[in-house]
Amino acid sequence: MHQENIFSHSNSTSLPTPEICFFQAIVMAAGSATMAAISIMIGLVVAMAIAFAPQAEARAFFVFGDSLVDNGNNNYLVTTARADSPPYGIDYPTRRPTGRFSNGLNIPDFISQNLGSESTLPYLSPELTGQSLLVGANFASAGIGILNDTGIQFLNIIRMYKQLEYFEQYQRRVTALIGAQNTQQLVNEALILITVGGNDFVNNYYLVPFSARSRQFRLPDYVRYLISEYRKLLMRLYDLGGRRVLVTGTGPMGCVPAELAQRSTDGQCSAELQRAAALYNPQLAQMIGELNNQYGADIFIAANTRQMAIDFVRNPRAYGFITSKIACCGQGPYNGLGLCTVASNLCPNRDVYAFWDAFHPSERANGIISQQILTGDTTYMYPMNLSTILALDSRT
């Protein structure tokens, strides 16, 4: 699908520059014998001006969070939370697993396309060096949550505090390339995506019956605690230079195939996990609004990914899916048990499945969510969508 280049600008109504007026005056004053030569000179000057004019470049893009947005950092870690073997990546352009928890592209990939840039590399990738650093970086790590004790069963993962430390390290590396002032500008003008929170429920509070956190907190109190800790992370991101930050909420956690397989007897979404999402997402949006008021600008943009996903979960056929309950890859009820491996059931057409594996959307579902991030109304994006952000920022 053709994407309009929002960074292009029309010059059709611009006034003549002083340089052009100067050359016009020369031509009018010159005799006919020299007009041809002067015309050639004008042509050369204009050509050089076009050739050396500064070109608008795609802004840098930084990604923080969990497996929904991990582009492969966990490939470089000793952890059980990895997606570096088939059939992951079966529909990726290279047809090989990349570390993305998807059959193909994930949400950051689609956003990169809309920014007009290549996908961000994992921060731990040895390929992320030199000029490729200026595109941005992906710091996300599958299994992590807002809290440091989330995902402990996955062993070695990049927790949020460490992702932010890596962001500081990234800025030092870029400063060595382009200087401190240019680095600050690159970071201030960058788009940032942060997707975290779901694991704090499914891989912490609800991981096992009578988990430590569920004994420590009632659910409403736990949600308030998560929001207060998330606020600290976002404030730290602001301190590190983030000025345009997309913050996604949790998806419909009780409706993923893994939860249907473990908690549902009739194919309906888990009421308890849906209650958790219903408590968490509005409080996240409220906290984002409070932070924007505190900073006096629309720094943080709330993406209601729960609503984006629940649309096709409740009415899959309206979006071209044959099912939103059964994962494409997996085993057991709803293909929702265990890992997606070469021994798993695998659907022949991933485009008609809303879920790729027990927890993660398919590439096509990621595309639908990304389109709502780009163009969705205030039901999905508040206070504005990504298209509006890009249009506003291109004028400043």
What CA–CA distance (Å, rounded) separates 145 from 200?
A: 5
Q: DSSP string covering 308-330, please?
A: HHHHHHH-GGGGT-SBSSS-SEE
Provide the greatest CA pair distance for the chain. Answer: 95
- CB–CB of 128/210 below 8 Å? no
Q: What does the DSSP assignment read for 44-75?
A: HHHHHHHHHSPPP-PPPEEEEESTTT--SGGG
DSSP H helix total and E strand total for the chain: 13, 8
Between the alpha carbon of residue 226 and those of residues 196, 197, 281, 330, the distances in Å are 11, 8, 11, 31
67, 125, 141, 264: the active-site residue: 67
Please give the Cα distance from 54 to 75 (Å, whole number): 38
One of 109, 298, 311, 357 is an active-site residue; which one? 357
Amino acid at 198: G
Is 357 a residue of the active site? yes
Count CA atoms closer than 13 A to 378's CA, side-chain side: 2
Token representation of residue 396: 């400043």
Q: Which two tokens stand for residue 156?
A: 């070695």
Nearest C-alpha neighbor of 86 from the set 70, 98, 76: 98
67 is catalytic: yes
Find the radius of gyration of the CA atoms of the chain.
25
> Phi/psi at 87 (nearest 5 deg)?
-90, 10
Residue 174 in tokens: 């870029």
Q: Distance between CA 250 and CA 69 in Å, rounded?
A: 13
The neighbouring-strand residues paired with 382 are 302
CA dihedral 33, 39, 41, 43 (to 10 degrees): -160
Of 70, 102, 117, 360, which residue is the catalytic one?
360
> How is residue 204 written in tokens?
């912490």
How many angstroms separate the CA atoms of 4 and 2, rounded? Answer: 6
Q: Cα dihedral sign for 127, 129, 132, 134? A: positive
Q: Which residues does the annotation mark as catalytic?
A: 67, 357, 360
